[in-house]
């Protein structure tokens, strides 16, 4: 094999030598393509696997942890929630509509391939600077519009509600946007399907859409950083058809009611290659496949293209022998292809045939077992020493009054209401959505089969991850769980999507390693194990990496569907803050907006206080002594209360004791603001949990006031609800 071809497949010299050792000969082009895809960063996790070991993954309520298509938890009365989050970052930067749309399609298949009907979508989006009129700003606005339209198109056409999400902006994402898609489905806890292929002689059946050349090399493309040459890789972006996926989901769910299936796997990254190798590998089996029998939508396709295409809306099934015609009949009813393309063997090898001739032969276990696990160099980033002394230096900040600072923060895209985004999503199809998007806090759906609410909280503060990757990773776990708890639900487990820069940079690998340690620590201390997840590296353009972004979704359950609101409910309600003011300005939005800095240091998280906060709100809600509860987020108490005021159309007058008058904007951890029905009972309960509570004031009036800040409610709402749309829609 010539050196140029090997390099084009992103195979290193040491990896090629390992291939020669496994095969005992030179690979042909098809075999090289398979190794390239399976050993890509996207599929093999070769840079990250070392640090993923040790994630807490077990609890009495965990049915399936990492290693399958999605994670599964018990939600009571014989029902289970199936969920996962994945990235589609590189494709969405290249072609935002199709990249984001197929990201949604892929995560939906991961969930319904487990036997669950998908009931909710969410998304975590990061973009660069959208304000201004230079080329980058205009392009970022184009990416926002395209990505959101793609997400809306796929989810809406599938008839699956998009119930919530998060979106943030920072210039570190100018060269690499992040599109992370989350889906959650519901099924019976004893009717879960797995991605396995076992039983010698059992047929392997291809179902779904035909295979084309779209998405060729997608897994390898997603395992590289961007430069000027590869920004135009549109052929590596898949093209989605949500109507075909809707048919595929319904056909699969009908199939799952039978006993015809041994195992089933989505054809995701690396297409037919990853699905076939993973299914056989999990069972220690071999497999024969006749690639000329694969349904094709383009002429003159080669075995190489068929194995590596990432055409969408396709699945691979291992069926019980003798059930082939029954399975074909189900898929024919839904107007979908279903073809027997192979069978399970006991050879431990993948044998690929092309019109009767052997085209490739690869041992399955060695390909997985010998997949590189890299021990890349790590180095603490030099910038950390430069920024650690800048917690709130006052160089400029002290010249800005709190009123001016409030007005500046209110107009920041990270604070503004995103109705331009969520109004494009159908949040109500399926009639299970309890809480509408835009109402702050966690999202929630009801499960009709057992009457519970499943609550989903999504969070990641990228600035704090930049300032301290370990505490930032832990904080994402804590904050997402806190959102769930503020709804009155008990957080049970998380899924993650770990987005970082180029692993060839030792400073990025240090950030990643630290982020993983923080997540492990928080999951262990807060008792919310990791059940599924994804890693996305190489989020770098021209040597500039993104801020570390370990996006987390925490999933919890409440025994009934009555969710505690996240906004003001009625006038005259006393408002309390739970937690302490510690003057945390490191990585804060205040520092970013006022001082144009992402800097400072972060204190350690007190997990006992964090968990006590969750338990206090859950218990107080059960006792019916709370009107509402909301986690204190970016912009501190001032911006948290301001957003609640805008959404509820209720003013309020609040007074917060501060050592520094700017502390109304500081971002200490483990805090919430709550509306209290019975103040005496609430204080008594808080003392039982050993938490400090402070009365801030009362809801009501047509003004929003906190300390030396005052804003007319109508004027504040006008800014909050209209400014984001004006920014994104501007033409020049």
Sequence ranges of the binding site for ATP: 45, 84, 496, 533
Q: What is the C-alpha separation between 72 and 187, in angstroms, rounded?
A: 10
Strand segments (E) across 189-282:
203-208, 261-266
Which residue has 């007058």 as its token pair?
A: 653
Could you tell me if 493 and 531 are in contact, meaning their C-beta atoms sit under 8 angstroms apart? yes
Q: How far is CA 259 from CA 254, 262, 264, 328, in A?
A: 11, 8, 13, 14
Residues whose CB is less than 8 angstroms from the CB of residue 178 and which lie 6 or more positions away in sequence, other chains included = 87, 89, 124, 125, 126, 499, 536, 539, 546, 549, 551
Q: Binding site membership for Mg(2+): which residues?
A: 86, 110, 266, 534
Q: Which DSSP state fits 130?
A: -
CB 113: neighbour CB atoms within 10 A?
A: 30
Q: Which residues are annotated as a binding site?
A: 45, 84, 86-90, 109-110, 238, 266, 310-312, 496, 533-534, 536
Q: What are the E-state strand segments in 559-590?
A: 574-578
Q: Which residues are annotated as a binding site for substrate?
A: 87-90, 109, 238, 310-312, 536
Q: Are 674 and 620 in contact (CB under 8 A)?
A: yes
What's the half-sphere exposure (Cβ side, CA atoms, 13 Å) at 657? 9
Q: How far apart are CA 680 and CA 110, in angstroms?
A: 48
Catalytic site residue 42? Answer: yes
C-alpha to C-alpha distance for 71 and 194, rounded to whole angstroms: 11
Whether 88 sits among the annotated catalytic residues: the reply is yes
Which of the following is catalytic: 88, 139, 153, 290?
Answer: 88
- Rounded CA separation 161/154 (Å): 10
The residue from 42, 139, 153, 290 that is catalytic is: 42
Question: What angle do helix axes 469-485 and 506-526 make, rounded to 10 degrees?
Answer: 40
Q: How far apart are the first and last CA of the chain?
A: 51
Angle, in degrees to the nearest 10, between helices 242-255 and 324-333 = 140
DSSP 300-361: T--HHHHHH---SSEEEEEE-TT-HHHHHHHHHHTT-EEEEEEEEESSSEEEEEETTEEEEE
- Alpha-carbon gap, residue 234 to 93, rounded angstroms: 10
Give which of 40, 125, 47 is closest to 85, Cα–Cα. Answer: 125
Residue pair 106/266 in contact (Cβ under 8 Å)? The answer is yes
Beta-bridge partners for 445: 433, 454
Contact yes or no for 549/586 (Cβ under 8 A): no
Three-class HEC string of 182-207: EEEEEEECCCCCCCCCCCCCCEEEEE
- N residues, the chain: 732
Active-site positions? 42, 88
């Amino acid at each position: 094999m010539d050196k140029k071809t090997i390099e084009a497949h992103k195979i290193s010299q040491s990896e090629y030598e390992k291939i020669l050792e496994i095969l005992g000969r030179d690979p042909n082009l098809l075999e090289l393509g398979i190794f390239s895809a399976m050993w890509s960063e996207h599929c093999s996790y070769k840079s990250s696997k070392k640090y993923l070991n040790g994630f807490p993954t077990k609890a009495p309520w965990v049915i399936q942890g990492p290693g399958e298509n999605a994670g599964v938890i018990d939600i009571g009365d014989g029902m289970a929630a199936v969920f996962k989050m994945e990235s589609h970052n590189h494709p969405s930067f290249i072609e935002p509509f199709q990249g984001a749309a197929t990201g949604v399609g892929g995560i939906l298949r991961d969930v319904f391939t487990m036997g669950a009907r998908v009931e909710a979508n969410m998304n975590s989006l990061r973009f660069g600077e959208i304000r201004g009129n230079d080329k980058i700003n205009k392009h970022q606005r184009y990416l926002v519009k395209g990505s959101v339209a793609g997400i809306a198109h796929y989810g809406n056409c599938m008839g699956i509600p998009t119930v919530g999400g998060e979106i943030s902006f920072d210039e570190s994402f100018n060269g690499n946007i992040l599109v992370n898609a989350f889906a959650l489905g519901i099924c019976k806890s004893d009717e879960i399907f797995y991605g396995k292929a076992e039983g010698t002689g059992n047929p392997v059946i291809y179902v779904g859409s035909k295979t084309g050349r779209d998405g060729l090399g997608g897994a390898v493309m997603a395992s590289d950083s961007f430069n000027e040459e590869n920004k135009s890789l549109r052929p590596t972006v898949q093209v989605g058809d949500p109507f075909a996926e809707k048919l595929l989901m319904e056909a699969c769910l009908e199939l799952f009611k039978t006993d015809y299936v041994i195992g089933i796997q989505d054809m995701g990254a690396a297409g037919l290659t990853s699905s076939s190798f993973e299914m056989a590998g999990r069972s220690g089996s071999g497999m024969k496949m006749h690639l000329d029998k694969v349904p094709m939508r383009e002429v003159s396709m080669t075995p190489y293209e068929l194995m590596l295409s990432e055409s969408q809306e396709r699945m691979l099934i291992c069926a019980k022998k003798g059930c082939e015609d029954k399975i074909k009949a189900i898929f024919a009813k839904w107007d979908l292809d279903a073809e027997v393309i192979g069978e399970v063997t006991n050879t431990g090898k993948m044998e690929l045939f092309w019109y009767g001739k052997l085209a490739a032969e690869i041992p399955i276990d060695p390909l997985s077992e010998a997949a590189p696990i890299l021990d890349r160099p790590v180095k603490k980033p030099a910038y950390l020493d430069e920024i650690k002394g800048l917690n709130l230096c006052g160089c400029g900040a002290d010249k800005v009054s709190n009123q001016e600072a409030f007005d500046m923060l209110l107009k920041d895209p990270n604070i503004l209401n995103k109705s331009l985004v969520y109004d494009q999503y159908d949040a109500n199809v399926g009639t299970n959505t309890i809480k509408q998007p835009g109402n702050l806090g966690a999202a929630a759906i009801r499960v009709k089969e057992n009457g519970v609410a499943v609550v989903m909280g999504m969070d990641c503060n990228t600035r704090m991850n930049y300032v301290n990757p370990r505490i930032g990773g832990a904080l994402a776990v804590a904050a997402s769980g806190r959102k769930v708890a503020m709804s009155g639900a008990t957080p049970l487990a998380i899924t993650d999507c770990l987005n970082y820069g180029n692993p060839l940079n030792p400073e990025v690998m240090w950030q990643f390693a630290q982020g993983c340690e923080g997540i492990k620590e928080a999951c262990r201390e807060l008792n919310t194990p990791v059940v599924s997840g994804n890693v996305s590296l190489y989020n770098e353009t021209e040597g500039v990496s993104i801020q570390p972004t370990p996006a987390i979704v925490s999933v919890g359950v409440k025994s009934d569907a009555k969710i505690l609101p996240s906004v003001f409910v009625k006038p005259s309600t006393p408002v309390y803050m739970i937690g302490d003011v510690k003057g945390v300005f490191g990585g804060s939005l205040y520092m970013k907006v006022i001082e144009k800095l992402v800097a400072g240091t972060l204190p350690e998280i007190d997990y006992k206080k964090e968990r006590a906060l969750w338990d206090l709100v859950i218990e107080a809600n059960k006792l019916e002594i709370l009107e509402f509860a909301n986690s204190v987020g970016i912009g501190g108490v001032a911006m948290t209360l301001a957003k609640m005021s805008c959404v509820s159309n209720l003013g309020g007058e609040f007074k917060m004791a501060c050592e520094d008058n700017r502390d109304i904007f500081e971002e200490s951890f483990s805090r919430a603001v709550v509306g209290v029905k019975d103040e005496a009972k609430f204080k008594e309960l808080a003392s039982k949990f050993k938490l400090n509570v402070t009365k801030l004031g009362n809801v009501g009036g047509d003004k929003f006031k906190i300390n030396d800040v005052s804003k007319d409610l109508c004027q504040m709402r006008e800014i909050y609800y209209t400014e984001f749309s004006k920014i994104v829609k501007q033409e020049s």
